[in-house]
Amino acid sequence: MESEEHRANPLHWVIYLGVVVSVVGPLVPQFVWPFVKSWFFPDLVPSAWSMRAWQYIGNPNSQVLEAVGNSLLIAVIVTCISVLLGVPAGKALGMYRFRGKGLVELFILAPSIIPGLAVTMGIHVIFIRLGLSDTLMGVVLVHLIPTIPYMTISMSGIFANYDPDFEEQAKSLGASTFKTFFIITLPAIFPGIITGAMFAFLISWGQYLLTVLIGGGRIITLPLLLFSFAGSRDNAFMSALSVIFLLPAILILFFTSKFLSGKSSGMGGFGNI
Amino acid sequence: MTKRTTITLLLFPTMAVLVFLFFGGIAMGLMQSFSFMPLIGLNNFNFDAYRNLFSDSEFLLSLGLTLWISISSTILTVVFAIITALAFRKTFPGKRLTNFIYQFPITIPHIVITIGTMLIFSQSGIVARFAYKAGLISDQSQFPILISDTLGLGIIYVYLWKQIPFVGVLVLSILQSLGNNFEELARSLGANKWQAFRHVLLPTIIPGILPASIICFSFTFGSYEVPFLLGKPYPAVISVLAMRLYQDVDLNARPQAMATAVFMAAFISVLVVLYKKLLNSMSGRR
């Protein structure tokens, strides 16, 4: 039923226009600058074009390819560990009631709310002592601080809506615990795992501060290069890197947009703090 | 396997990693903030760092700036999230695409929009160029300083860009689960549009988005990347100040860096505890 009340009026159109302009507007110049040679004030269109930013990126000396490789490797490892740890913990929180549950929830949530800067500065001495600072493994470990809580909380949201009766039925029909997990549980929670994993990947992929603190500038990732170019204000290089940096986010958005709209399973769990 | 063992086994790996990384980090940070650093031969134990912190005018300025940025961006986020979500409830041609664009910022990393903000709002940016073409300014120096400015406007813009859809999607799902019934009932009982919003919708929306607002606040309070790139070097926000002290070649600055970091963690913890108390007292009254 479409009543007059449900249709947009001119004021709503102003809001839609405002949303589109202020979301898309700041992203547009980033897609133009990577191909620019010169673009002076007050020109609205560049006066000369060039591919030098891309040539520089393709050049092995620029460290860009190395950084992309490191960023991918770190984010993939971090995502796998977060899934392996977060799914069981999410199950415990989503499906069981037990004494001290509120405390456990608060404990798991804390690292995603307390500033990562404070925790990482503190842990740095331990990492130095254990030989983990300036290493890829150290960076992976420290990226787990924000990703494991995220994964656990979003999985607990998924498990809270999951009906355990199917598992009981499978078990009563003689299926083993492992078989039950792979045939019954996994297919039911799989979309939730994928969504959570993609966001865990993005959290690791976008991490600058934790990487620079623990990696000590030895482990070069894409955000580190992006940061140094942003500091030097070379718009062409900065924008080209930014576009590469943006790609996984856009891919993931296309995959997850149907999960996000309406009931957001990925973020629903945060309603419990 | 008893239920208790199952739960323990399921939770153990996550808890173990978090205890080591998170509580290890907090504990080591605390120790170093008391100037206790056996690793570099400092075996003192005192509160000097905290005493210096609260008598340091730069720290107090930083704290003020940080609170200004986080409070104003959280409030504006909530206001705009509600306004936009109410608008997105309506049906209109092109809704699918517009809705996609609305949610687009959720996955975009902060650094990307930070760079975008630099490119459009700086004095040689796109907005300044349009202003020049429109005859509003005759030179780029006349364009207001929005990047690295005193009020942190560029920083606030980035946070709003990222957070409005995050909270807005929540508001939308609250509105969807509420349906139109209550609002229509209120209207049929003679409430006008504003009254229906103020007394029916708002009391439902606000408790639902409180957790998300706390997350927004604590994120903006502790974030480093955005204010480092878009803020003034002095006074800088508290995270940038902490990082500068931490990276100081003089290791004597280390306890103060840690005290700043511990202060940040404590501030957010107190906030969350207060929020929990508020929540409990609210549900206790019902």
Q: What is the pLDDT of residues B4-17, one digit of tens each?
A: 898 999 999 999 99
- Judged by CB atoms closer than 8 Å, whether chains meet at B21 and A111 is answered as yes
The answer, yes or no, to whether residue B283 has pLDDT greater than 80, is no
Best probe of the A interface among B3, B18, B110, by most A CBs < 10 A, is B18
* Rounded Cα–Cα distance for residues B68 and B76 (Å): 12
Q: What is the pLDDT of residues B187-217, one digit of tens each?
A: 888 888 888 888 888 988 988 899 899 999 9
The answer, yes or no, to whether residue A188 has pLDDT greater than 80, is yes
**Domain boundaries defined on chain B:** 57-285
Average pLDDT over residues A159-185: 84
Q: What is the pLDDT of residues B14-31, one digit of tens each?
A: 999 999 999 999 999 999
pLDDT more than 90, % of chain B: 57
B75 in A contact zone (CB under 8 Å): no
What pLDDT is stored for residue B113 in this prediction? 95
The answer, yes or no, to whether residue A112 has pLDDT greater than 50, is yes
| Selected residues 20-39 of chain B with any CB under 8 Å from a CB in chain A | 21-22, 24-30, 32, 37, 39
Q: Distance between alpha carbon A246 and the CA centroid of its chain, in Å?
A: 11
What pLDDT is stored for residue B284 in this prediction? 63
A6-15, A138-147, B263-272: the lowest-pLDDT one: A6-15
Average pLDDT over residues A31-42: 92
Average pLDDT over residues B116-138: 91
**Domain boundaries defined on chain A:** 55-272
The answer, yes or no, to whether residue A249 has pLDDT greater than 60, is yes
Q: What is the pLDDT of residues A48-98, one digit of tens each?
A: 999 999 998 888 888 999 999 999 999 999 999 999 999 999 999 999 999
Chain B residue nearest residue A206, CA to CA: B109
Of B29, B99, B161, the CB nearest to A121: B29
CATH, range A55-272:
1.10.3720.10
Per the model's pLDDT, the better-predicted residue between A250 and A243 turns out to be A243
What pLDDT is stored for residue A3 in this prediction? 54
Q: Which residue has the tokens 């992309």?
A: A68
The answer, yes or no, to whether residue A263 has pLDDT greater than 50, is no
Mean model confidence pLDDT for chain A: 88
pLDDT band with cut points at 50, 70 and 90 for residue B121: very high
Per the model's pLDDT, the better-predicted residue between A192 and A211 turns out to be A211
pLDDT band with cut points at 50, 70 and 90 for residue A209: very high
- Judged by CB atoms closer than 8 Å, whether chains meet at B170 and A264 is answered as yes
The answer, yes or no, to whether residue A1 has pLDDT greater than 60, is no
Size of the A and B interface in Cβ pairs below 8 Å: 292
Per the model's pLDDT, the better-predicted residue between B197 and A132 turns out to be A132
The answer, yes or no, to whether residue A103 has pLDDT greater than 50, is yes
Please give, rounded to a whole number of angstroms, the shortest distance from the CA of A56 to a CA of chain B. 19
The answer, yes or no, to whether residue A270 has pLDDT greater than 50, is no
Average pLDDT over residues B65-94: 95
Chain B residue nearest residue A242, CA to CA: B112
B247 in A contact zone (CB under 8 Å): no
Of A125, A253, A271, the CB nearest to B28: A125
Of B4, B111, B180, the CB nearest to A208: B111
What pLDDT is stored for residue A180 in this prediction? 85
Residue B122 with chain A: CB contacts under 8 Å = none
Residue B192 with chain A: CB contacts under 8 Å = none
Three-state SS string across chain B, please? Answer: CCHHHHHHHHHHHHHHHHHHHHHHHHHHHHHHHCCEEHHHCEECCCCHHHHHHHHCHHHHHHHHHHHHHHHHHHHHHHHHHHHHHHHHCCECCCHHHHHHHHHHHHHCCHHHHHHHHHHHHCCCCHHHHHHHHCCCCCCHHHCCCCCCCCCCHHHHHHHHHHHHHHHHHHHHHHHHHHCCHHHHHHHHCCCCHHHHHHHHHHHHHHHHHHHHHHHHHHHHHHCCHHHHHHCCCCCCCHHHHHHHHHCCCCHHHHHHHHHHHHHHHHHHHHHHHHHHHHHHHHHHHC
The answer, yes or no, to whether residue A269 has pLDDT greater than 50, is no
- Judged by CB atoms closer than 8 Å, whether chains meet at B109 and A117 is answered as no
Mean model confidence pLDDT for chain B: 90
- Judged by CB atoms closer than 8 Å, whether chains meet at A88 and B9 is answered as yes
Average pLDDT over residues B142-168: 93
What pLDDT is stored for residue A241 in this prediction? 94
The answer, yes or no, to whether residue A29 has pLDDT greater than 70, is yes
Best probe of the B interface among A28, A93, A121, A130, by most B CBs < 10 A, is A121
What CATH architecture does domain B57-285 belong to? Answer: Orthogonal Bundle (1.10)
Three-state SS string across chain A, please? Answer: CCCHHHECCHHHHHHHHHHHHHHHHHHHHHHHHHHEEECCCCCCCCCEECCHHHHHHHCHHHCHHHHHHHHHHHHHHHHHHHHHHHHHHHHHHHHCCCCCHHHHHHHHHHHHHCCHHHHHHHHHHHHHHCCCCCCHHHHHHHHHHHHHHHHHHHHHHHHHCCCCHHHHHHHHCCCCHHHHHHHHHHHHHHHHHHHHHHHHHHHHHCCCHHHHHHHCCCCCCHHHHHHHHHHHCCHHHHHHHHHHHHHHHHHHHHHHHHHHCCCCHHHHHHHHC
C-beta pairs of A165-169 under 8 Å, 24+ apart in sequence: none
What pLDDT is stored for residue A186 in this prediction? 86
pLDDT band with cut points at 50, 70 and 90 for residue A4: low
What pLDDT is stored for residue A176 in this prediction? 85
Residue B125 with chain A: CB contacts under 8 Å = 29
**Class of residue A55 by CB neighbours under 10 A (exposed 0-12, middle 13-18, buried 19+):** exposed
* Rounded Cα–Cα distance for residues B25 and A214 (Å): 12
Please give, rounded to a whole number of angstroms, the shortest distance from the CA of B108 to a CA of chain A. 6
A103-117, A192-206, B33-47, B104-118: the lowest-pLDDT one: B33-47
